[in-house]
Amino acid sequence: MGSYNSQYEDYYRNLRRKRERSSYNMNSLNKKKSSNNSNYLVKRIIRDLSGAVVLFFIVIICRLIVTPQTQAVYNYSKKIVEKSYDYNAIYAKVKTLNISKFQDKATDFIENIKAKVTGGRTIKEKVKAEFTMPVKGNITSNYGYREDPVTKSKKFHEGIDIDVKENTDIKVVYDGKVKDCGEDVELGKYVLIDHGQGIETKYAHLNELSIKKGDELKKGSIIGKSGNTGKSTGPHLHFELLYMGESKNPSEFIAIK
C-alpha cells in the first residue's frame, strides 16, 4: 500500500509541475505579446510623427526655395488644405472602398508629388515611354480574377498570357539584371528581371533559358524560348510587371502591340 501511495503522489506531483510550467509559459507569452503590441504602437506613433515633420519641412522648403517645381508642390498642398470636403460622401465611399484600387491611387499620388518635386517622370510614365512587350501576340488571358484553366476555380491572375508558338524568342522589355531564374511547378521555367527603381518583370512557361542569375541585360536581349512548361494548358508566355513587390496590370503600363 505504501508503494501505491508513493506512486500516486509522484503522479500528481508531476501533473502539478506540468501545470505550473504551462502557466509560466503562458504568462511569458502574454507578456511578450503585450510588449510587441506596445512596441508596435510606439513605432507607429514615431513613424506618423516623422511623416508629419517631413511634410512640414517640405512645405517650408517650398516657400524658401522658389522654383517652378517647389511652387507647384506648395500650391497643390495649399489647395488640398483649403478645399472643403463633403464628409458624408467620403464616408459612403470608404464603406465601398476597394483596397487594391486605393493602394494604386495612393501610389500614383505619391509618384506624382515626387515627380513634381524632382522635375522627373512617374514610374508609370517611365514604363510607358521606355518599356516594350517581350513578344508579339494576342492576349489570351488578362490580369485579374479568372477561372483557373486547370483547377476551374476562381483565382487571381497576376499577369497576362500572350499567345505565341513554342520556341519563339522572348526578349527582355528593358535594361535590367537577372534577379532570379529557374524552374517552378506552376510557372515552369521562368526569369525574374530587376530593372531598378522597384520595377521588376517576370516571364514564365519557357522551354529554355538563355541567361543565368546575375546577368546584366540590355533592352531587347533574348532571355529564352517560349514554351509550355509548368501548369500550362498550351504554348504561351505568362508575363508579369511588379512595382515594389506588388503585381501591376501590364496592360495599364506597357503599350500592347
Report whether pLDDT(6) > 60. no
> Mean per-residue pLDDT for 7-32?
55
Nearest partner of 195 among 219, 213, 171, 212, judged by Cα? 219
- pLDDT tens digits, one per residue of 133-181: 999 999 999 999 988 877 888 889 999 999 999 999 999 999 999 999 9
Find cell 528593358 and name the residue: 174
Query: Where is average pLDDT lowest: 83-97, 150-164, 198-212?
Result: 83-97
- pLDDT tens digits, one per residue of 100-128: 555 566 566 666 665 665 667 777 888 88
In this prediction, residue 122 carries a pLDDT of 78
Q: What is the pTM of this model?
A: 0.60
In this prediction, residue 149 carries a pLDDT of 78
Q: How far is residue 161's CA from residue 240's CA, in Å, rounded to a whole number? A: 9
In this prediction, residue 1 carries a pLDDT of 47
In this prediction, residue 131 carries a pLDDT of 95
Q: How far is residue 159's CA from residue 237's CA, in Å, rounded to a whole number? A: 10
Q: How far is residue 26's CA from residue 3's CA, in Å, rounded to a whole number? A: 35
Q: Which residues of 215-235 are buried (b: 16+ CB within 10 A; e: fewer)?
A: bebeeeeebbbbbebbbbeeb
44 pLDDT band (50/70/90 cuts)? low
> Does the CA dihedral 197-203-204-209 come out positive or negative?
negative
Cβ neighbours of residue 143 closer than 8 Å, sequence gap 6 or more: 157, 158, 159, 160, 247, 249, 250, 251
Report whether pLDDT(72) > 90. no
> Mean per-residue pLDDT for 71-76?
69
Find cell 509560466 and name the residue: 24
Q: How far is residue 225's CA from residue 215's CA, in Å, rounded to a whole number? A: 17
Mean pLDDT of the chain: 78
**Residue 46, φ and ψ in degrees, nearest 5:** -60, -40
> Mean per-residue pLDDT for 195-223?
96
